[in-house]
């Protein structure tokens, strides 16, 4: 893998010494006009549109939850779709905001579901958090406190960082009594917050103390998805809920490294020899997947197999419109074979 | 106590049948100009200003955390201050956003600290939540789910409502596995969210399911304080952090019944024969106490014995200015005795 240079890394982070606020180019791009928009008919994926789409892109970026699977259940037609696209010579990349697993763990999950996907084809928000610290020369003498699960801890360790927190701190309780003083490690230089089913008051306070009291401590969010299909049966609170709680406590906004921030895309472009105008982002969520695709200049395809419903897409209040939409990725195969 | 009439209650709640959003007059008033502002010099409390203040008000409303105590530690000079004001014939009211205790429990806390304060003089955000439901004729056939502590459960039960959740659900864990389906009680008609040291993923999902799936289910926040002096040693995440997490999950704003919403004040005015222009709100927090005083037309006195520092008060970015400020309530006595 081609690792970005220090110059590239420097683009992402400008320290404002006066107020300890950090800015990343990727995050700022969320508010900017898209790099490039294709003049493509916006609407339902038809056989013609499917042929045109496949003919005009070299790579497909797939979100996972709600697109490839729901919880641990594969969405119908996914194996055939991926197989066909690979046969057509398309590069496949899997970009997920779900930080619960590392790239290695995701590769195993794909295998369990009968799909052959390598670690190098997987970009998770947990990996993005580790890469963000690496690209910004995070001091190896500092530690990282994690509000999240094993995926974040694993990726941070793989990248050579000392980290703690995670599921272990989910077992710890706070007793708010009298003169109780809660101490924290002053050598924590970054707090990473992601989806955490072991979220508790202990972690909220630990993260808050590090961010508020350790000079220059970074506050990094893997992503801000409000909900997600953590199980196939229903939606669950997403990483956005943990991020909202910590952000409220410290009264500061985090640096977001997952979708729709373009940090991951810039990193991905440096890893592969690709052009965003010849990529299509396929996702089930408007405010992360489709916005991410648009922010980075990709074509966008919304699938209705996850959190977004057709009435939500077509509601007058919705301002995010994908180039194309369809029920599920399976439609791509069906339409191409017509 | 004079209980508000149904007509009064009706002012607080208008159901928008189309989208199940509720509005309260109190909450809306946060954005409106203050009812009445006194032409009073804004600045440090001097002996003259203290005499003028005491001469022009009939009642003092005190916040508790950071004004009367810090955690379980009484702030210096509080007994003398309250004693003097009572001798001067002033009505004393204690208005706290801390929902962890009921009015009965707070009365006991005052007694433990050597202060004689009756339940009727105490207005908590937990009591406000119960009164909000009562005033809005919440059906006794519906249940209330509580993300919070015993104070909320106790006040709801005293008001005759069936409720559950609270500390008990803090012991329950979620295992996000495969086809796990999390069921919830369809008869929950309101979710109350307040400060909760037992906050966890179970409660976040339970609250989210009730608000999202039970038709017309109310989403009530006791308050949105980001932090508070839950112990005397340091600040801790406040109810605002739990509210932010649930609000993010359900993508909906709550009805706030504590400060700075004027719901509590309107209720208080109906309970006592008082005029807000002859009241002074004494608090340590600009965005709740002082804003609450200003929203309701009271005079305002900021004390620097809690979360707000003098640099924060005087910072150019601060838009909330109390009529007067001083180090602690003790200064009132010292200045009046000069």
Do B233 and A180 lie within an 8 Å CB cutoff? yes
Mean pLDDT, chain B, rounded, equals 87
Nearest to B151 by CA among B194, B119, B182: B194
Which band of pLDDT confidence, cut at 50, 70 and 90, is reported for residue B214? very high
Do B237 and A249 lie within an 8 Å CB cutoff? yes
Which band of pLDDT confidence, cut at 50, 70 and 90, is reported for residue B7? very low
- 10 Å CB burial of residue B119 (0-12, 13-18, 19+) is middle
- The answer to whether A182 and A207 have CB atoms below 8 angstroms apart is no
Of chain B, the percentage scoring pLDDT greater than 90 comes to: 75
Q: pLDDT tens-digit profile of B235-260?
A: 899 999 999 999 999 999 999 999 99
Q: pLDDT tens-digit profile of A236-277?
A: 999 999 999 999 999 999 999 999 988 988 888 887 888 899
Q: Residue B43: how many CB atoms within 10 A of its CB?
A: 13
Q: Please tell me which residue in A14, A16, A58, A63 is annotated as part of the active site.
A: A63
DSSP strand pairing (B299-303 vs B279-283): parallel
Superfamily of domain A139-254: HAD superfamily/HAD-like (3.40.50.1000)
Do A71 and B247 lie within an 8 Å CB cutoff? no
pLDDT at A50: 96
Which band of pLDDT confidence, cut at 50, 70 and 90, is reported for residue B71? confident
Q: Please tell me which residue in B14, B48, B58, B63 is annotated as part of the active site.
A: B63
Q: Residue A114: how many CB atoms within 10 A of its CB?
A: 9
Class of domain A41-97+260-336 as given by CATH:
alpha beta
What whole-number distance in Å separates Cα of residue B215 and Cα of residue B212?
8
Residues in chain A within 8 Å Cβ distance of B150? none
Backbone angles phi, psi at B61, to 5 degrees: -105, 120
Which band of pLDDT confidence, cut at 50, 70 and 90, is reported for residue B177? confident
Residue B4 in this model has a pLDDT that exceeds 60: no
Residue B332 in this model has a pLDDT that exceeds 80: yes
Q: pLDDT tens-digit profile of A53-108?
A: 999 999 999 999 899 998 788 999 999 999 999 999 999 999 999 999 999 999 99
Which numeric CATH code is attached to B126-256?
3.40.50.1000
Bridge partners of A22, per DSSP, are A15
Q: Break chain B into its structural domains and give their ranges.
A: 39-97+260-336, 126-256
Which band of pLDDT confidence, cut at 50, 70 and 90, is reported for residue B271? confident
B63 is in an annotated binding site: yes
Q: How far lies B255's CA from each of A71, A78, B20, B198, B322, in Å? A: 33, 43, 12, 22, 25
Do B231 and A200 lie within an 8 Å CB cutoff? no
- Please give the average per-residue pLDDT across B69-88, as a whole number: 93
Which band of pLDDT confidence, cut at 50, 70 and 90, is reported for residue A10? very low
Q: How far lies A117's CA from each of A107, A120, A180, A241, in Å? A: 6, 8, 50, 30
Residues in chain A within 8 Å Cβ distance of B21? none
Which numeric CATH code is attached to B39-97+260-336?
3.40.50.1000
Residue B41 in this model has a pLDDT that exceeds 60: no
Which residues are CB-neighbours of B50 under 8 A, at least 6 positions away? B331, B332, B335, B336
Residues in chain A within 8 Å Cβ distance of B181? 231, 233-234
Which band of pLDDT confidence, cut at 50, 70 and 90, is reported for residue A328? very high
Do B73 and A230 lie within an 8 Å CB cutoff? no
pLDDT at B36: 42
pLDDT at B21: 36
What whole-number distance in Å separates Cα of residue A252 and Cα of residue B228?
16
What whole-number distance in Å separates Cα of residue B85 and Cα of residue A270?
70
Which band of pLDDT confidence, cut at 50, 70 and 90, is reported for residue B267? confident
Which residues are CB-neighbours of B273 under 8 A, at least 6 positions away? none
Which residues are CB-neighbours of B329 under 8 A, at least 6 positions away? B62, B67, B68, B75, B77, B78, B81, B282, B303, B305
DSSP strand pairing (B69-70 vs B73-74): antiparallel
Residues in chain A within 8 Å Cβ distance of B196? 201
What whole-number distance in Å separates Cα of residue A12 and Cα of residue A25?
5
- The answer to whether B23 and B16 have CB atoms below 8 angstroms apart is yes
Q: Chain B: nearest CA to A35, how far in angstroms?
A: 29
pLDDT at A262: 84
Q: Is the ipTM reported for this complex over the cut 0.95? A: no
What whole-number distance in Å separates Cα of residue A202 and Cα of residue A211?
14
Q: Please tell me which residue in B65, B196, B323, B331 is annotated as part of the active site.
A: B65
Which residues are CB-neighbours of B152 under 8 A, at least 6 positions away? B99, B126, B129, B130, B146, B163, B166, B192, B194, B222
B63 tagged catalytic: yes
What is the sign, positive or negative, of the torsion defined by CA atoms of B293, B295, B298, B302? positive
- Please give the average per-residue pLDDT across A125-142, as a whole number: 95
| Tokens coding A205 | 């306070």
pLDDT at A331: 96
Cβ burial A260-283 (10 Å sphere, 16+ → b, else e): bbbbbbbbbbbbeebebbebbbbb
- Please give the average per-residue pLDDT across A201-226, as a whole number: 97
Helix intervals (H) in chain A: 6-12, 25-28, 47-56, 78-87, 103-112, 125-135, 150-158, 166-169, 201-213, 239-250, 263-271, 291-295, 310-314, 330-336
B65 tagged catalytic: yes
Q: pLDDT tens-digit profile of B121-155?
A: 999 999 999 999 999 999 989 999 999 999 999 99
DSSP strand pairing (B324-326 vs B43-44): parallel
């Amino acid at each position: 893998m081609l690792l970005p240079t220090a110059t590239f890394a420097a683009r992402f982070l400008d320290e404002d010494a006066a107020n300890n606020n950090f800015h990343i180019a990727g995050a700022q791009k969320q508010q900017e006009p898209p790099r490039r928009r294709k003049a493509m008919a916006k609407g339902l994926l038809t056989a013609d549109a499917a042929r045109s789409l496949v003919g005009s892109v070299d790579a497909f970026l797939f979100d996972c939850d709600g697109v490839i699977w729901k919880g641990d259940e594969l969405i119908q037609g996914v194996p055939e779709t991926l197989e066909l696209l690979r046969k057509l010579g398309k590069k496949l990349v899997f970009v997920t905001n779900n930080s619960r697993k590392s790239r290695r763990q995701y590769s195993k999950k794909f295998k369990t579901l009968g799909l052959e996907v390598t670690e190098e084809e997987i970009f998770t928000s947990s990996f993005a958090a580790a890469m963000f610290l690496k690209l910004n020369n995070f001091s190896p003498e500092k530690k990282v406190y994690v509000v999240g699960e094993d995926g974040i801890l694993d990726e941070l360790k793989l990248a050579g960082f000392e980290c703690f927190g995670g599921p272990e701190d989910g077992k710890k309780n706070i007793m708010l009594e009298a003169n109780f003083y809660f101490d924290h490690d002053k050598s924590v230089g970054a707090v990473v917050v992601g989806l955490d089913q072991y979220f508790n008051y202990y972690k909220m306070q630990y993260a808050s103390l590090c961010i508020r009291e350790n000079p220059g401590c970074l506050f990094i969010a893997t992503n801000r998805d409000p909900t997600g299909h953590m199980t196939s049966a229903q939606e669950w609170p997403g990483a956005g809920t943990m991020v909202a709680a910590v952000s409220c406590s410290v009264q500061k906004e985090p640096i977001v490294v997952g979708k729709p921030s373009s940090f991951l895309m810039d990193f991905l472009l440096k890893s592969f020899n690709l052009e965003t105008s010849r990529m299509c982002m396929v996702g089930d969520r408007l405010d992360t997947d489709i916005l991410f695709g648009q922010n980075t200049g990709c074509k966008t395809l919304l699938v209705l197999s996850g959190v977004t419903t057709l009435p939500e897409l077509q509601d007058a209040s919705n301002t995010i419109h994908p180039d194309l939409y369809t029920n599920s990725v399976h439609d791509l195969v069906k339409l191409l074979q017509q």
